[in-house]
Amino acid sequence: MPTSPKLDAATLAANLAETCPPLGPQAARREAERCLYCFDAPCIRACPTAIDIPAFIRKIADDNPTGAARTILSANILGASCARVCPTAELCEGACVVRGEPAGPVPIGRLQRFATDAVAAASPRALLPPSAPPTGRRVAVVGGGPAGLGCAAELARLGHSVVVYEKRPRAGGLNTHGVAYYKMRPEVSLAEVALVASLGVQFRYGEELGRTITLPHLELEYAAVFLGLGLSGGRRLGIPGENLPGVVDALEFLEQIRLRPPAEVPVGHVVAVIGGGNTAIDAARHAHRLGARRVICVCRRGPRELAAYPDEVAHARAEGVEFVFHARPAACEPDASGHVAALRLDPHAPPAAVNDEGYVLEVDMVIRAIGQPPAGLAGNQWLPGLEFTPRGDIARDPLTGATNRPGVFAGGDCANGGREVVHAVAEGRRAARAIHTRLTGEIPPELIQASGRGTLSADGPASKTPPHAPLTGGHHG
Amino acid sequence: MADLAINLAGIRSPNPFWVASGPPSNTAYQAHRAFEAGWGGLVWKTIGDPIVNVSSRYGAWHAGGARLQGFTNIELISDRAVDTNFRELTEVKRRWPDRAVIASLMVDTRARWHEFVRRAADAGADGIELNFGCPHGMCERGMGSAVGQEPAVAERIVGWVMEAATIPVIVKLTPNITDITVAARAARAGGADAISLINTISSIVHVDLDALGPLPAVAGAGTPGGYSGPAVRPVALKMVQSCAADPAVGLPISGMGGVAQWRDAAEFLALGATSVQVCTAIMHHGFRIITDLLEGLNDYLDAHGLASVGELTGRALPAVRKWEHLDLRERRVARIDYARCIGCNLCHIACEDGAHQSIDLVPPGDRGPGPGRPPGKPIPQVREADCVGCNLCSLVCPVADCITMTTRPADGPPLTWAGYQADLAAGRIEPLPPHS
């Protein structure tokens, strides 16, 4: 039975420090001043929650971080966690018009963190305008992850009474349980749960659909139901030896650091991470930080086809994570004690480009990170009549989240198959607004504090300004 | 290498750059450092009967990340002993015989002016600058801008000074007056040899919104201070031009106000200044900025085939005209280079809300992605027929050379407002139609 590598406390603390530390006030203002305050800004379009990014950045430049936080949280109640976990290079910062400058794009994510941090000590609730008067309608939200929180917060602000059913003892979903520790501390996510609760949302913990509650029961008790169930645990490899001690799921591995002191998190000396997605990269970097001497990412595809974001892969490589491409795991093999001791690769898997060690990697830990399958809800007797997509996601109208069952809505990973936190928040919020319309017959008031430059559409804001059509066909100055 | 040497009313210096009277010219130590760095002249911090300063003295307006774009001070004239100032001035001049050392003076009575003028000459100064401009503190005692704002008083005091002067006398003018040429003419009438301008502008640079009082604050209170730095430069340029273009003034000019870089200095020279003084930029960056000023000006003169800095002086004055002598038929329109456009659409909203509604947002069509515009994102398009050529879009555009103002064929031969009025009166032209 191998023992985990032991790092001294100082090294461990340094390894687990946030990789992207907060900006100080002066740096934040200097970066904010680089924002051009674009009209019809492409960053807003690139943000699934359509935060009015130029407006909040201008407020930082104007020494008004409180106002900046108000703008952010009005559009995205999880603005603090999204500031840390959003793949900003792929979203807002990837659309920033100054990204071609030597200094790169405006660091929107870090500025968003600066603004939300600025109000974290006080009650962010006080920033938001009072909720609408109670409508007397009750809505159940199943799942307390980003989609459920996004939905619950918007419903509460619109005056509805909301109960969130969460199967775990704590809400926040992957933000609380599964995000790499060096990207975000779980306290940030829990503070967001508290913010949603401060809007009047009730949380019932230990409640799981199909175990303690059923959809028909919820439909009876509530005027509408939102399903934000997320995905199931990690997909299994389906190879011999998968159940050996030392073979773990990536999300369970990432959660360990929240369950015990970092020094006590089990990690191998030589770790194979199977998978090429962002979770695999998170797990690999995490294992490295916890003291693993070697971490090898075993990827089915080649370096150009990895599912992980290029930035993440580059960081992992820079930190010393190794990669084996075009490889297919064949078996996990035990040592005499029965603990995993090697990962055998399939020599027949073309093109079988393999490392110097041949087809057997001597490892004492294998982390499985080949994606999360749908929650396995299709055909579940507690969700009678609900339609699913062929791959097992809950079928819903992407604009509204409406499922085939009237009054039942869905969003987040359980409906989109697994996307970013910010997509889940956006889908939850959109569903909330559709639920409001269903319950009241009214288009909900726009709660986003926008600079009057447009409205939301399905996947972000629509064209904010129609091409100018002269009223008189000519100059009218 | 162009000849940078100047002669301003008999005051010679190897280059046109003088340290202006102020904190950087307070001591012999600083003067030595300035001349070692390469400054051509230095106007000593104003010598007068000793005063007492307050402790908090400066405030600033920072334009975003660019600090000290506006600067205010409530410091008074030299607080050092008169004897010390003249003794150090003598030492400096002895060590730097080729540089211009000018004594700035401010006293009150005729007798005191006579005494200080003689002492300046005895100390070896190359010239005297009369501080008629300080807008804070001293004016409350009937000196500084209190003199500069009263042409008759200024003229009389210049007269007192000239009674005793054996070296050139420069009158430093305050901008805190409606028409600077009135003050300049008074200096001329009093017999002055030259003028220098501008002194600082009376100002409150900031209000502390927690303490609800002005900055800089002295024990919870403040007083209006003298504003300087790049923010005041356009005001100073116009005042220099006004004096240089006024034949009734007809005096050489030492120009100042917000000079920080060689281009700033060249602009003052082109509008009629013979020497250029610098203070706030030295307070920001030190005397070392002289290397850029000298090199940049020299390269500019060489590139434009000007053999001496004197050839630049006043060269832009003929092109400064009254509005009524501008050509009404010049037509300029904005052109957008889509290979450079980053898609910020600031030009659109500026034109739409702030100007003449002549830039539409249209589908990008076949104009390509430029430097990385998101596919399908609307792009700005100028309606040339409606563009009045105001320049606003090109001014707000953050990308160099993306929006250029181009000249279109004129609607006819040049026509000025003055000519138009004359033609109308003579019946030679129909009234131009009003804009829609």
3-state secondary structure string across chain B: CCECCEEECCEEECCCEEECCCHHHCCHHHHHHHHHHCCCEEEEEEECCCCCCCCCCEEEEEECCEEEEEEEECCCCCCCCHHHHHHHHHHHHHHCCCCEEEEEECCCCHHHHHHHHHHHHHHCCCEEEEECCCCCCHHHHCCCHHHHCCHHHHHHHHHHHHHHCCCCEEEECCCCCCCHHHHHHHHHHHCCCEEEECCCEEECCEEECCCCEEECCECCECCCEEEECHHHHHHHHHHHHHHHHCCCCCCCEEEECCCCCHHHHHHHHHCCCCEEEECHHHHHHCHHHHHHHHHHHHHHHHHCCCCEHHHCCCCCHHHCCCHHHCECCCEEEEEECCCCCCCCCHHHHHHHHHCCCCEEEECCCCCCCCCCCCCCCCEEEECCCCCCCCCHHHHHCCCCCCEEEEEECCCCCCCEHHHHHHHHHCCCCCCCCCCC
Cβ atoms of B268 and B256 closer than 8 Å: yes
pLDDT at A460: 36
Asked if B64 lies within 8 A of A33 by C-beta distance, the reply is yes
First to last CA, chain A: 82
- Buried b or exposed e, range B114-140, using 16+ CB within 10 angstroms: bebbebbbebbbbbbbbbbbbbbbbbe
Residue B433 lies in a domain: no
Last residue of a domain, one of B281, B298, B319: B319
Last residue of a domain, one of B293, B319, B345: B319
| Chain B positions in Cβ-Cβ contact with residue A29 (cut-off 8 Å) | 65
Interval B212-227: pLDDT, tens: 999 999 999 999 999 9
Q: Are residues A328 and A281 in the same domain?
A: yes
Q: Does residue B241 sit at the A interface (CB-CB below 8 Å)? A: no
Give the one of A98, A463, A477 whose C-beta lies nearest to B378's C-beta.
Answer: A463
Q: How far does the CA of residue A169 sit from the closest CA of chain B (Å)? A: 43
In this prediction, residues B121-147 reach a mean pLDDT of: 90
Q: Are residues A78 and A168 in the same domain?
A: no
Q: Are residues A201 and A313 in the same domain?
A: no
pLDDT at A445: 80
Bridge partners (DSSP) listed for residue B276: B17, B255
Asked if A39 lies within 8 A of B355 by C-beta distance, the reply is no
Give the one of A98, A467, A475 whose C-beta lies nearest to B360's C-beta.
Answer: A467
Q: Are residues B245 and B332 in the same domain?
A: no
Residue B257 lies in a domain: yes
Could you give the CA distance from residue A380 to residue B284 in angstroms, rounded to a whole number? Answer: 73
Q: Are residues B51 and B158 in the same domain?
A: yes
Pick from A26, A33, A97 the residue to mutate for testing the B interface (most B CBs within 10 Å).
Answer: A97
Return the structure tokens found at B414.
Answer: 């040049």
- List the single residue in A with minimal CA-CA distance to B384: A475
Strand pairing category for A340-345 and A138-142: unpaired
Give the one of B360, B385, B435 whose C-beta lies nearest to A468's C-beta.
Answer: B360
pLDDT at A366: 96
| Chain A positions in Cβ-Cβ contact with residue B359 (cut-off 8 Å) | 468
pLDDT at A41: 94
Q: Are residues B136 and B71 in the same domain?
A: yes
| Chain B positions in Cβ-Cβ contact with residue A460 (cut-off 8 Å) | none
B278: nearest Cα among B268, B310, B270, B73: B268
In this prediction, residues B34-38 reach a mean pLDDT of: 98
Domain count, chain A: 3
Q: Are residues B133 and B232 in the same domain?
A: yes
Instruction: Tell me which amino acid residue B380 is.
Output: P
Q: Are residues A224 and A178 in the same domain?
A: yes
Residue A63 lies in a domain: yes
Return the structure tokens found at B388.
Answer: 């009045």
Q: Are residues B89 and B227 in the same domain?
A: yes
Global ipTM? 0.85
Q: Does residue B362 sit at the A interface (CB-CB below 8 Å)? A: yes
Q: Residue A289 is part of a domain; what is its CATH number?
A: 3.50.50.60
pLDDT at A272: 96
Q: Which helix (H) or strand (E) holds A345?
A: strand A340-345
A148: nearest Cα among A171, A176, A169, A116: A171
By the 10 Å C-beta count (0-12 exposed, 13-18 middle, 19+ buried), A338 is classed as: exposed
Residue B162 lies in a domain: yes
Residue B434 lies in a domain: no
Tell me: pLDDT of B436 over 90: no
Kindly report the number of other CB atoms within 10 A of residue B148's CB atom.
31
Q: Are residues A359 and A390 in the same domain?
A: no
Sequence-ordered list of residues with C-beta below 8 angstroms from that of B100, at least 6 positions apart, any chain: B8, B11, B12, B13, B18, B40, B41, B42, B126, B127, B275
Could you give the CA distance from residue A224 to residue A409 in angstroms, rounded to a whole number? Answer: 8
Q: Does residue B345 sit at the A interface (CB-CB below 8 Å)? A: yes
Q: How far does the CA of residue A111 sit from the closest CA of chain B (Å)? A: 16
| Chain B positions in Cβ-Cβ contact with residue A41 (cut-off 8 Å) | 344
Q: Are residues B221 and B370 in the same domain?
A: no
Q: Does residue B142 sit at the A interface (CB-CB below 8 Å)? A: no
| Chain A positions in Cβ-Cβ contact with residue B69 (cut-off 8 Å) | none
CA torsion sign, B56 to B62 to B67 to B69? negative
B101: nearest Cα among B129, B79, B132: B129
Interval B113-130: pLDDT, tens: 999 999 999 999 999 999
Return the structure tokens found at B306.
Answer: 């000007």
Which of B134, B139, B351, B387 is an active site residue?
B134
Cβ atoms of A285 and A315 closer than 8 Å: yes
Strand pairing category for B331-336 and B403-408: antiparallel
Q: How far does the CA of residue B259 sit from the closest CA of chain A (Å)? A: 25
Rg (CA), chain B: 25
Q: Are residues A145 and A67 in the same domain?
A: no
Residue A417 lies in a domain: yes
Q: Which helix (H) or strand (E) holds A431?
A: helix A421-440
pLDDT at A227: 97
Asked if B346 lies within 8 A of A37 by C-beta distance, the reply is yes
Q: How far is CA A180 from CA A23, A71, A291, in A?
A: 20, 27, 15
Residue A437 lies in a domain: yes
Residue B229 lies in a domain: yes
Mean pLDDT rounded to a whole number for chain B: 96
Could you give the CA distance from residue B388 to residue B403 in angstroms, rounded to a whole number? Answer: 14
- List the single residue in B with minimal CA-CA distance to A453: B349
A112: nearest Cα among A75, A149, A141, A142: A75
Could you give the CA distance from residue A87 to residue A422 in angstroms, rounded to a whole number? Answer: 9
Give the one of B344, B372, B436 whose C-beta lies nearest to A474's C-beta.
Answer: B436
Give backbone dihedrals phi and psi of A112, rounded to 5 degrees, phi first.
-65, -40
Domain count, chain B: 2
Last residue of a domain, one of A106, A127, A148: A127
Asked if B362 lies within 8 A of A467 by C-beta distance, the reply is yes
Cβ atoms of B133 and B225 closer than 8 Å: no
Q: Are residues A358 and A269 in the same domain?
A: yes
Q: Are residues A196 and A93 in the same domain?
A: no
Q: How far is CA B47 from CA B120, B176, B192, B302, in A?
A: 10, 22, 19, 39
| Chain A positions in Cβ-Cβ contact with residue B403 (cut-off 8 Å) | none
For chain B, positions 364-403, list CB contacts with chain A under 8 A.
Answer: 371-374, 377-378, 383, 385-386, 388, 398
**What is the percentage of chain B residues whose pLDDT exceeds 90?**
92
Chain A to chain B Cβ contacts (< 8 Å): 77
Residue A474 lies in a domain: no
Could you give the CA distance from residue B84 to residue B48 in angstroms, rounded to a whole number? Answer: 12
Residue A358 lies in a domain: yes
- Buried b or exposed e, range A184-204, using 16+ CB within 10 angstroms: bbbebbebbbebbbebbbebe
| Chain B positions in Cβ-Cβ contact with residue A38 (cut-off 8 Å) | 343-346
First to last CA, chain B: 54
Q: How far does the CA of residue B343 sit from the closest CA of chain A (Å)? A: 7
Residue with tokens 């129909």: B430
| Chain B positions in Cβ-Cβ contact with residue A40 (cut-off 8 Å) | 345, 348, 361, 377-378
A74: nearest Cα among A17, A35, A115: A115
pLDDT at A1: 53
Residue with tokens 């300004």: A465
Residue A331 lies in a domain: yes
Helix axes B233-245, B180-190, angle to 10 degrees: 50
Asked if B436 lies within 8 A of A40 by C-beta distance, the reply is no
Could you give the CA distance from residue B92 to residue B82 in angstroms, rounded to a whole number? Answer: 15
Interval B178-196: pLDDT, tens: 999 999 999 999 999 999 9
| Chain B positions in Cβ-Cβ contact with residue A462 (cut-off 8 Å) | none
Residues of chain A with pLDDT under 70: 1-2, 349-357, 447-477
Cβ atoms of A7 and A291 closer than 8 Å: yes
Could you give the CA distance from residue B307 to residue B2 in angstroms, rounded to a whole number? Answer: 5
Q: Are residues B342 and B298 in the same domain?
A: no
A448: nearest Cα among A48, A46, A16: A48
Give the one of B359, B361, B398 whose C-beta lies nearest to A40's C-beta.
Answer: B361
For chain B, positions 61-100, list CB contacts with chain A under 8 A.
Answer: 64-65
Last residue of a domain, one of B273, B300, B319: B319
Q: Which residue stretches of A35-103 are H helix? A: 42-46, 53-61, 65-75, 79-85, 92-95
Q: Residue B247 is part of a domain; what is its CATH number?
A: 3.20.20.70
Give backbone dihedrals phi and psi of B90, rounded to 5 degrees, phi first.
-60, -45
Last residue of a domain, one of A127, A154, A184: A127
Interval B310-366: pLDDT, tens: 999 999 999 999 999 999 999 999 999 999 999 999 999 999 999 999 999 999 999
Q: How far is CA B345 from CA A438, B388, B391, B404, in A?
A: 38, 19, 15, 15
> Which residues of chain A approach chain B closer than 8 Å at the C-beta?
29-30, 33, 36-42, 45-46, 61, 95, 97-100, 463, 465-468, 470, 474-477
Q: Which helix (H) or strand (E) holds A15?
A: helix A9-15
Give the one of B352, B358, B377 whose C-beta lies nearest to A42's C-beta.
Answer: B377
Return the structure tokens found at A179.
Answer: 């995000």
- List the single residue in B with minimal CA-CA distance to A30: B65
pLDDT at A349: 65
Residue with tokens 């150090």: B88
Give the one of B345, B357, B385 whose C-beta lies nearest to A477's C-beta.
Answer: B357
Residue B89 lies in a domain: yes
Active site residue B134: yes
Q: Which range marks the domain in which residue B109 is found?
A: 6-319
Could you give the CA distance from residue A173 to residue A423 in angstroms, rounded to a whole number? Answer: 14
Complete edge-to-edge strand list for the sheet that includes strand A408-410: A202-205, A161-166, A138-142, A224-227, A408-410
Residue B198 lies in a domain: yes
Q: Which range marks the domain in which residue A209 is found?
A: 138-232+375-441
